[in-house]
Structure formats: structure tokens, C-alpha cells
Structure 1
Amino acid sequence: MKQQIAIQLFEDKKVRTLWNAEEEKWFISIVDVIEVLTNSERPRKYWSDLKAKLQKEGSELSEKIGQLKMVAKDGKMRTTDVASRW
């Protein structure tokens, strides 16, 4: 699978993205988007709580959310929830 990793900046905050050439799709880190949109100091916790609430309400997140390895703040490749940009 050929992939291209990129960092997008939005109001001085990093948003991790990944291009998958086989699927011809961009994937974007949900935690990074949550941090930008909510200005939360704990975006991973915010996402965890929101995901639990949505699942409890019957939302089928598994159809829309995937997991891919992206470079974390510590420089290591870590699995994170992602969504397709379209």
C-alpha cells in the first residue's frame, strides 16, 4: 500500500493526514480535528467520551471510522482513529 503522510496546519495546530494511493483517499486524524474544533487540552479524552456516547446512542461508527498508524507527538508510529475526507 503506497501512502503519503502530510501535516496540515490549521490556526497553528497540526492536523495529521495520510494519502492512500490504492484507495485514492485522504485520511485525517480525528483527535487532531477535535483539538482544532474544540480547543480542548485533552482531545484524546474528549474523543473517547464522545465516541462512547455515540456508540451508546446506537451510532455505527465502525462504518465511518478506521484506524491507521500515524506519527505521534513523541515521534513514534501509533494507531489513531481516522476518517476519510470524503
Structure 2
Amino acid sequence: MSDQLTPDSQGKIIVFGAKQIRRIWHDEQWFFSVVDIIAALTDSDNPRNYWNMMKARELKQSEVQLSTFCVQLKLTSTDGKSYKTEAVNVESAFRIIQSIPSPKAEPFKRWLAQVGYERVQEIENPELAQQRMRKLYQDKGYPDDWVEKRVRGIAVRDELTGEWQKRGIQDQRDFAMLGEAATTEIARNKDAQGLLKNKQAAQEGGT
């Protein structure tokens, strides 16, 4: 069982062993899906039911309710849609892990500590995030020129998204519409004709 941190391009999915853990940046910290944590620790076929049983058992045994550690945040499900899901920060995740008898508990705690520490480092030095992403793609065997283009593209997109957010744009669908609008405007201004020219316009619009 590997406890390696493996992020996707936006950091919204990370992998513990073979299990995907959804997370979201909220209130200046990472929050993680509770049912995903339980699935990773227990290999349960129904982690949601396991979680409900945990909450019921904890309520009977103590005055502390596990659900009080959770917040409802929208996370993307397997169907591609976002639903409100119980999520916890690193500190609360430790509290829940203590209630789960699992040989994976200690490796998972170390993994969570790594998640928090790496995020603090990346906030202080954003270049570390790019270095980590670059190494991830290189380890997967992608050629260096592809990796560099990918990392630069993500950095440019994040910078542009940040500028839009400063101007009151928050919804992901609005980001997509702005990207399409930029592409359309460039195509019109350049009077783009044919596949190649419009492809170039689309690339400029995305940038």
C-alpha cells in the first residue's frame, strides 16, 4: 500500500493506495470527502452505509457526534455532477480515523499530514506546485516537451482564472463561457477561415 500523494491537474482528486479521495479548497484549507476516506480505510462495498452506522454508534456511546466535525460541500460525483457531501478538514479527519479499526489508519494519518504540509509549502512558494506536477507527469512517462507545455498551460489558465475571480466571476460555467467568448472574438478579428486558422484562434482563446 503506497501512501504517495498523487494529485490531478487541479488538485481535486488525490490517491491513497488505489483509492481516490475527493477534496475541495474551502475556508483556506483542504476538506476531504468522508465517504472516500472510509472507503480507503475499510474497503467497504458501501462506505456511505458504514459512515451512517459509525455516526449512530458514536451517538450511543458518547455525547460527541461525528457529524458535527463535518461540513456540507459540493463535490463531483462519478456521474460528473456536483452534490453536497459531508467533508472534513485534516484535523477532523484525524478524529474520524481514530474511530475506524483499520491497519491502514497510521499510513493514512501520515498521508494526511503530508497533504497539509505540502499545501502550506505551495501557498508560500507556488513554484513548488508546478515542480510537483512536473515530476508527476515525468514519472508517468510523458515527454519533457509535453510536460513543459502542460505545466505552462495550467499556470496560465490559473492566472487567468484568478483575474476573473478578482472581477466577480466564480462559477465554472462562466469561466468556460469567457474562454469561448475570447476564442470567438479572436476568430472574428482575424477572420479565421478553415480548420487550421480556427484551431489557432481556439488555442489563443484558451491561452
Would you call these one fold, judging by a TM-score over 0.5? Answer: yes
Q: The residue matched to 2:36 in structure 1 has which SS?
A: helix
Whether the 8 Å CA contact 2:55–2:67 is kept in 1: the answer is no
1:76 match: 81
Q: Which runs of 4+ in 1 moved over 6 A?
A: none
Conserved? CA contact 1:17–1:29, under 8 Å: yes
2:8 is aligned with 1:40:
no
The size of the alignment, in residue pairs, is 81
Q: Give the gaps of 5 or more residues in structure 1.
A: none
TM-score by length of 2: 0.37
Give 1 or 2: higher strand fraction: 1
Q: Which amino acid is 1:72 matched to?
A: S
Who wins on radius of gyration, i.e. which is larger?
Answer: 2
Q: Relative to structure 1, is the Cα distance of residues 5 and 18 closer, same or farther in structure 2, using a 3 angstrom cutoff? A: farther
Matches of 2:42 and 2:65, distance apart in 1: 23
Contact 1:5 1:19 in 2 (8 A): no
Structure 2 distance, partners of 1:32, 1:85, is: 14
Q: Which has the higher contact order (CA 8 A, sep 6+)?
A: 1
Q: Residue type matched to 1:50 in 2?
A: M
Indicate the residue corresponding to 1:85 in structure 2. Answer: 90
User: Equivalents in 2 of 1:56, 1:79: separation in Å?
Assistant: 26
- Contact 1:35–1:43 at 8 Å: present in 2 too? yes
- Relative to the length of structure 1, the TM-score reads 0.82
Alignment correspondent of 2:20:
14
CA distance in 2, matches of 1:55, 1:12: 31
How far is the alpha carbon of 1:5 from its aligned partner?
5.8
- Corresponding residue of 1:53: 57
Instruction: Give the fraction of aligned pairs with identical amino acids, expressed as a percent.
Output: 40
More helix by share: 2
**1:17-48 Cα shifts (integer Å, max 9, x gaps):** 1112xx21110000000000001011011001
